[in-house]
Amino acid sequence: MMNDPSDISKDKDDYCIVLCGAAGQGIQTIEHILTRVLKLSGYHVFATKEYMSRIRGGSNSTEIRVSSRRVSAFVNRIDILIPLDKKAIPHLGKKINTETIILGEKEKLQTDREIIDIPFSQIAAEIGGQIYANVLAIGVIAGIFECEMDILEGYLASYFAKKGEDIIEKNREAVKKGFEIGTELMKSGKIHVRIRKDKKVQEEILLNGAEAVALGSIAGGCNFISAYPMSPSTGVLVFLSQNAGKFGIIAEQAEDEISAINMAVGAWYAGARALASTSGGGFALMEEGISLAGMTETPVVVHLAQRPGPATGLPTRTEQGDLELALYSGHGEFPRAIFSPGTIEDAFDLTRRAFNLADKYQVPVFVITDQYLIDSYYNIPPPDISGLRVEKHVVESTKGYRRYEITADGISPRGIPGFGSGLVAVDSDEHDEAGHITEDLDLRVRMVDKRLKKMESLKRDAIPPELVGDEDYKTLIICWGTTFPIVQEAVNKLGREDMSILYFRQVYPVPDKALTYLERAGQRVIIENNATSQLGRLLKLATGMDMDHKILKYNGMPFSVEEIAEKLKGMGVSKNG
């Protein structure tokens, strides 16, 4: 069954498995099943993918970390590689080293690298066709990591339940053969894996970023979503559509993004709690609708899943390039808030908060993610939702009600049509306190001031950045969004007591506390997945503080733990630097 096995062994508590093949070879199926089976077997897991913008062909890969501790960051090493076609090894290039265990078909791969030869194609053909090669690969990994066969078979039966008993049985046969190969590799000593299992992990949940944003929306009282599908944001629309009946949600796939944002604004006006979900190119079409929300002081929550631009850019890759797009979107001047979750937990919590904040201040609130967060999975304890509240700030209108009454804090009482006896008039033109069009220039100034007055309270309510590390730091590493868990693992790896991290969950309004942290630093290093340091510019504008060093990446890939650690060493901020 196996020919010319390499004598490779490893003994550690964290493994990185990479599976690579062409689009259409079932890489996502492998990731989906394997992460869940490993988690159900008691392992901490993390998975992320990189894929080309093609329906078939190209080279796609998934990285799965299996660990005895919690992991939530992308790494650049490969401990075990399963290449499913001959393009996989050249595609992964420098990530493969002499320590990488390669499991594959020597004849098919046409490489001089040392390989443990497993005839995936031959075994799959004997079972029923090449389609079973991916499930065979699942079995090999499950065998190496000593997963429980009943868990594996049970999950396969559930996953393929709609395919019929014959398909289920063939997949069961494929996974068993793979499991035997993996077990034999362990018994022969050619691969040596020993990772502690934790039964508590079995009870945890496995989420990706799209699911976390969707669940956070539900926890925030979302009952309407309007979106036009656009990678990587589509998963949020899909999840809320699939679960619309359970949670009383109206899910509308709009004809375009202009309709999507206007539907969301209209839904809030009518009393719903709406989400518009999109990516950069789609959000560009939403800007007039954002400005409409600003003028009519209508709450709206927008999920913006970033990907590289300009234009179509790299539609299936990741970047933090749209912070300024959200910050300056919409013509004219009006307040807003921008959240930037860096973890699955924060994606849930900040999206939930966004709905309450939008309702309270009657402003657009943005939740900015990226492809890396949206498509990444890892296990977390179920969030405690016992104390969560859907905060509603709607008032029952009375005779003489004025929708835009000028108040000390700029927040007018918000009525909705049909709730009370008052007239709820709104207009996209400048208007008086009752909502009627005006060209009174003095009143125009008062209404602009009224709207902008909300910024003072929004700033007081802003979530302060989190300091991770010792308060007596010399070097401060500044990051936002999904660079955070990667930076955190890299800094932990360096082991510097005088180095701390400042993580921004909310990037706008910039909290006052940010200046205090920045001023105390001997040197400030900002890390961003973009070319121009957009957060760095915003912090300079808000605090007057410059960054001493900038670590920027914008090739469409996330940072790796090793990459950040090396760059910090190169700046003289390593333990021995």
Residue 312: give its domain's CATH number.
3.40.50.970
Question: Is there a domain that residue 215 lies in?
Answer: yes
- For residue 192, what pLDDT is reported? 87
> Is there a single domain that holds both residue 235 and residue 374?
yes
- The residue assigned the tokens 């921008």 is 338
> Is there a single domain that holds both residue 359 and residue 289?
yes
- Amino acid identity, residue 511? P
Give dist(CA 354, CA 364) in Å, integer: 9
CATH of the domain at 528: 3.40.50.920
Domain ends where: 354, 380, 406? 380
CATH of the domain at 52: 3.40.920.10
Give dist(CA 236, CA 241) in Å, integer: 8
Q: Are 471 and 500 in contact (CB under 8 A)?
A: yes
> Is there a single domain that holds both residue 196 and residue 213?
no
Return the minimum-mean-pLDDT range out of 121-125, 222-226, 250-254: 121-125
- For residue 573, what pLDDT is reported? 55
Return the minimum-mean-pLDDT range out of 55-64, 81-90, 305-314, 546-555: 55-64
Alpha carbon of residue 5 to chain centroid: 39
Q: Are 496 and 526 in contact (CB under 8 A)?
A: no
Beta-bridge mates of residue 467:
502
- For residue 53, what pLDDT is reported? 86
> Is there a single domain that holds both residue 172 and residue 222?
no
List pLDDT tens digits, range 498-535. 999 999 999 999 999 999 999 999 999 999 999 999 99
Instruction: Write the DSSP symbol of residue 302.
Output: E
- Amino acid identity, residue 474? K
> Is there a single domain that holds both residue 50 and residue 35?
yes
Q: Identify the band that residue 168 occupies on the pLDDT scale cut at 50, 70 and 90.
A: very high
List phi, psi (to 5°) of 445: -60, -45
When divided into structural domains, the chain yields a total of 3
Give dist(CA 109, CA 112) in Å, integer: 9
Domain ends where: 202, 224, 255? 202
- The residue assigned the tokens 């080309």 is 52
Nearest alpha carbon to residue 323 among 359, 358, 370: 370
> Is there a single domain that holds both residue 185 and residue 229?
no
The helix or strand, by DSSP H or E, that contains position 123, with its residue range, turns out to be helix 120-127
Q: Are 220 and 238 in contact (CB under 8 A)?
A: no
Scanning 128-226, the segments in alpha helix (DSSP H) are 133-144, 149-159, 165-187, 199-202, 209-219
List pLDDT tens digits, range 394-403. 999 999 999 9
Q: What's the mean pLDDT in 269-276?
A: 98
Question: Is there a domain that residue 442 lies in?
Answer: no
- Amino acid identity, residue 139? G
> Is there a single domain that holds both residue 264 and residue 348?
yes
Determine the Cα angle at 102 with ends 97 and 105, to 5°.
140
Produce one character per residue of 296-316: b if its CB has 16 or more CB atoms within 10 Å, e if not.
Answer: bbbbbbbbbbbbbbeeebbbb
Give dist(CA 17, CA 30) in Å, integer: 12
Q: What is the pTM of this model?
A: 0.95
The set of residues, in sequence order, having a beta carbon less than 8 Å from that of 307 and lying 6+ positions away, is 231, 232, 279, 280, 313, 314, 315, 316, 317, 318, 319, 370, 371
245 pLDDT higher than 70: yes
Q: Identify the band that residue 73 occupies on the pLDDT scale cut at 50, 70 and 90.
A: very high
Question: Is there a domain that residue 64 lies in?
Answer: yes
> Is there a single domain that holds both residue 360 and residue 220?
yes
Q: SS3 of 19, please?
A: strand
List pLDDT tens digits, range 446-499. 999 999 999 999 999 999 999 999 999 999 999 999 999 999 999 999 998 899
> Is there a single domain that holds both residue 549 and residue 486?
yes
Domain ends where: 187, 202, 217? 202
Give the Å distances, CA to CA, from 538 to 303, 509, 542: 20, 10, 6
Strands, E assignment, 224-314: 224-227, 250-253, 274-279, 300-306
Write out the two tokens for 33: 């099943």
Question: Is there a domain that residue 155 lies in?
Answer: yes
> Is there a single domain that holds both residue 279 and residue 363?
yes
Q: Say how many C-beta atoms besides its own lie within 10 A of residue 403's C-beta.
A: 23
Torsional sign, CA 286, 288, 289, 291: positive
What is the span of the domain harbouring residue 495? 466-570
Nearest alpha carbon to residue 152 among 136, 130, 132: 136
Q: Are 296 and 427 in contact (CB under 8 A)?
A: yes
